[in-house]
Structure 1
């Protein structure tokens, strides 16, 4: 599903060498402070469980996802050099709760957050603890002392939090006038002059698809049911037609006529008079040709051996 993002504020460019990357970074929080630069790390993506790139700001206060746009036959001109790799990387803010949520669901018990986020394959995951907007009380229950930071996953809180996320995204999509109705699938990015881009249900389903980009498949299905959204597969089911109507509609006309004319129980109907079949009429020209051809030999008779 297409994303609704704001315009980037900064253009960051490194020196033109073999490791040059072109970045569009959003937010003043990604600026270097006290000699500490933003750090790009690899983390586990919450939806696919595969490797994805993220950027921590200085001090790990915020985190942004790195999205890569790659097209064939594209290059960059940097000063007096040409960079053959025409990829462009865009960083966009992400709520760190999405990244912590899979680990909370996996633990299913009270556990300190640092211990819960321990991942041998992705050791940088523990840095999420320092994020300023990591409000785990929205999706988990805190146990014990506040300094201990021990949490247990709460599905009801999670569903309520995700519902608010979906409603917020739906409001943004509606304000931007993006078409989300079934009749405007090819015009997702076309703004409607009449501001009639879809119904409330269609906006919620569209927003659910965007939020689901950061959710596991089973959690996305639970959220869909929690929102009481109609299932398209149920609406697309065809109406059942009785077998009698189907056979009568598909029966050829000739078959129907022959069925009507066929004898009942194998016996002939003697009540109907049988009309003799009409012989084909011969025209006068055909009669004249037959008389002229009488007594003439076939042309093949002249080539027989004598």
Structure 2
């Protein structure tokens, strides 16, 4: 009897993702720009929520998939990401502000039209409600126009930082023992993964009464430590743009990634949130 995967171009991979609730039982894998790095990566849009792909691999392990043995024991899993992070660079560019000029009001379909990235069009259904939190909105003839508002963005970022700060102590006793200032710095490190340093990081640090040089030094130290303790391994195939559902997905080759050694205590807070699309540096 023929194996269920014998006609697959690439070997199967294991993905944990939300089950789509739509009638066709499918979600969409979208190619979008990373909000910080500006490189093309994939996100899963399913049930009206945007998810990023994460990747985890033990040093040894395999998967038994029916009658097939997948030698690569790595696993992909999806976690919800706030669409505001993904859309923030688009709205910042769309207002075309210059100096004291606050910029222009634009409609959603204009802002989300990015040549070469049709995936943004799938976010039309959720973009408006989310971006109202960080935009000034005007309604003319039943049409809404958006312009990014720096003060609203700063308020939203502060809220994100404080929410993460409340969660960090639950990661373990080492984190629970940290002081308020260290918790804020760790929270900013997490936020920074999806946020351009300019112009947001300086104003955020100023608002929270933190020295941006401390944040930069912590980041440099974390990255050096991570690289020194890791060894390069080939990244498994990652999902490509298209549909996903009913336990199957298309795949394409991923980039080389790095992996931590076996855990002996608590990890660096930044490393706990690494995505499959990052190279590990």
TM-score by length of 2: 0.64
* Cα distance in structure 2, aligned partners of 1:143 and 1:133: 12
Distance 1:104 1:224, change over 3 A: same
Question: How many angstroms does 1:65 deviate by?
Answer: 0.9
Q: 2:74 aligns with which of 80, 87, 110?
A: 87
- The corresponding residue for 1:230 is 211
- The corresponding residue for 2:187 is 207
CA contact (8 A) 1:97 1:134 kept: no
Distance 1:134 1:63, change over 3 A: farther
1:120 counterpart SS class: coil
Matches for 1:27-176 after TM superposition, within 5 Å: 30-58=19-47, 61-70=48-57, 74-108=61-95, 109-131=104-126, 134-145=129-140, 147-174=142-169, 176=170
* Cα distance in structure 1, aligned partners of 2:141 and 2:165: 35
1:131 counterpart SS class: helix
Question: How many angstroms does 1:68 deviate by?
Answer: 2.3
Question: How many angstroms does 1:96 deviate by?
Answer: 0.9
Which runs of 5 or more structure 2 residues have no equivalent in the other structure? 96-103, 218-281
CA contact (8 A) 2:108 2:128 kept: no
Question: How many angstroms does 1:36 deviate by?
Answer: 3.6
RMSD: 2.6
CA contact (8 A) 1:43 1:53 kept: yes
Distance 1:87 1:100, change over 3 A: same
TM-score by length of 1: 0.59
Distance 1:139 1:227, change over 3 A: same
Question: How many angstroms does 1:24 deviate by?
Answer: 1.4
Distance 1:86 1:133, change over 3 A: farther
* Cα distance in structure 2, aligned partners of 1:72 and 1:52: 25
* Cα distance in structure 1, aligned partners of 2:49 and 2:127: 7
Distance 1:114 1:133, change over 3 A: closer
**What are the Cα deviations for residues 8-62 of structure 1, in whole angstroms up to 9, with x where unaligned?**
xxxxxxx645342311125xxx43421241121211111111122211114xx11
- The corresponding residue for 2:173 is 191
Distance 1:233 1:23, change over 3 A: closer
* Cα distance in structure 2, aligned partners of 1:70 and 1:46: 25
| Structure holding more strand per residue | 2
CA contact (8 A) 1:75 1:82 kept: yes
**What are the Cα deviations for residues 71-111 of structure 1, in whole angstroms up to 9, with x where unaligned?**
66643221111123433111000111111111011112211
